[in-house]
Structure 1
Amino acid sequence: MSNANAINAAPVKLYRNPKSGHCHRVELMLALLEVPYENVDLDMANGAHREPAYLEISPLGQVPAIDDNGITLADSNAIITYLVERYGESIAWTGTDPIGKARVQCWLSIAAGEIAAGPCAARLVTVFGAPLDHEAAKARAHALLKMMNAHLDGRDWLAADRPTLADIAGYSYIAHAPEGGVGLADYPHVRAWLARIEALPRFIGMAPSPVLA
């Protein structure tokens, strides 16, 4: 990977859990932008995310977080926004006018809200054993997918006539929704949208996670 703005700089360190869709969101953005990076997998089961050194980078002890040559930042949506402003053509990824920027921001909010409470939460139960209401999470996921499927009828992308941060923020947990018991068979426009993202140059996927018995 290479990027003119990253020449002579050390790779971006991405602190992550490899099973996290929030972390994959950032890794996908780094890959699409051709920004050199290295993954730092945290041993969260043994409290690595609560160590004082990591809390200096991510005060809430959450992943993902990055260290970009001394610039540290947590929160996946904040990080991908930073990356396109720092290393990409930000207008292409965030919108060319006020309404375009607002539409992208709307989907970033959906990623932090409905996606987190729906397909993400359902997957937290089946992959991580989180003590959440699985049936409620699946119901919220299907309500979201129904809306997205209607929205994508006649559209290639969520917020513009090209891929934007909206699509990157939405991809990981929608693509892996079946791991949470949320099937995608009834949402053909969503599945076509996922395929378009996966066809982007330099796309990298997130490895499937085993579901708890």
Structure 2
Amino acid sequence: MNMINAAPALQETDELRADIYALLASLLRKSPDQSLTDWLSDIEPDQDEDTPMTRAWSALALNAQHAQSTQLEDEYHHLFIGVGRGELMPFGCWYLTGSLMEKPLVHLREDLSVLGYERQDQVKEPEDHIAALCEVMSMLITSGRGYEIQHQFWSKHIESWSSRFFNDLQKAKNSVFYSAVGLLGEAFMQQEGNWFLQLSPAALESGKQ
């Protein structure tokens, strides 16, 4: 996705949200390279906390420590590409309608156009790919779009199906490293839902972070 607008200063919570969306987008767009797996291997969650997010970070760090580049490439291929198709279909239309290129994608493209986003030329997957949607959320946050806009996009295009996808990713036959990615994605989407619920109506309606 391309965006136009300079990024303002962000609150720490929003920086973290944007970073997690960007990380999920990177991991779901392609298999991680060595520098990313090295970074993930060094994650040390707060051991005094026992939350779905800290458990997910711990699992992701552990899986990254034992991952090999070739294994990750093969795993990603089997999960998302395959011969004809992968084990999983990481598209909103698939989860919402059972088919690709249906009405949810039309509505998504309309909303992306209003927001000023467009698909990059080198990207061949439809815009309802989970990686693209995570990229959009990260950009909405870092470009200073208000909470109301973030919540509208998330609730309309992500909330209704992403947790099912991340749960399927944890259980997929070919999922080893990516089982922890699914765990993180599911925990983060739950956290996002709770976070939006806790925002006051004034915070949402003001459009300010």
TM-score by shorter chain over 0.5: no
Q: Name whichever structure is richer in helix by fraction.
A: 2
More strand by share: 1
Q: Scaled by the length of structure 2, what TM-score is found?
A: 0.30
TM norm structure 1: 0.30
